[in-house]
Amino acid sequence: MLIKLYALITLLVSIFGGIYYAYNHYMELKNELEVKTTEAIRYKESLKDNEVAINVLTQQNIKIQNETMKLQKSLQKAEEYNTDLQRKLNDHNLTKLSSKKPGLIEKRVNDATSKIFKELEEITSSSSS
């Protein structure tokens, strides 16, 4: 009879120990699940923020590329104009021409210089007002 009582007590202690272990394990898993759920929510919010930032950066990149293309076209036109001017200046050797016909060149240079100074004066006086 005493052996049955000890066996019963041992069985009950084992059952309650198993229940206690299972309950603690369940609570740990529940807490871990809550932590992981919170982390998942934070990651989703972070992902949304990152997607918004990527979209903004992509739009800015497109704008920068468009502006760069415009600037490259302007630069190309300026280089073509510069090349054309250099070609014209090389075609017209003013030093040689001025030594042969000083009166002809002097009047043209003076008139052109006067015109440029007037334009410069107009530009600077209108922009400072």
| Phi, psi angle pair for 50, to nearest 5° | -65, -40
Residues 6+ apart with CB under 8 A from 98: 105, 106
pLDDT at residue number 126: 67
For tokens 């440029």, name the residue. Answer: 116
Burial class (CB in 10 A: 0-12, 13-18, 19+), 98: middle
Share of the chain above pLDDT 70, in %: 96
Contact 54, 47 (CB under 8 A): no
Within the chain, residue ranges assigned H as helices are 2-91, 94-100, 102-128
Residues 6+ apart with CB under 8 A from 94: 105, 109
Residues 6+ apart with CB under 8 A from 116: none
pLDDT 10s digits, 35-83: 999 999 999 999 999 999 999 999 999 999 999 999 999 999 999 999 9
- Residue (of 97, 78, 96) closest to 86 by Cα position: 78
pLDDT at residue number 108: 82
Identify the band that residue 24 occupies on the pLDDT scale cut at 50, 70 and 90: very high
Please tell me the pTM assigned to this model. Answer: 0.48
Amino acid at 19: I
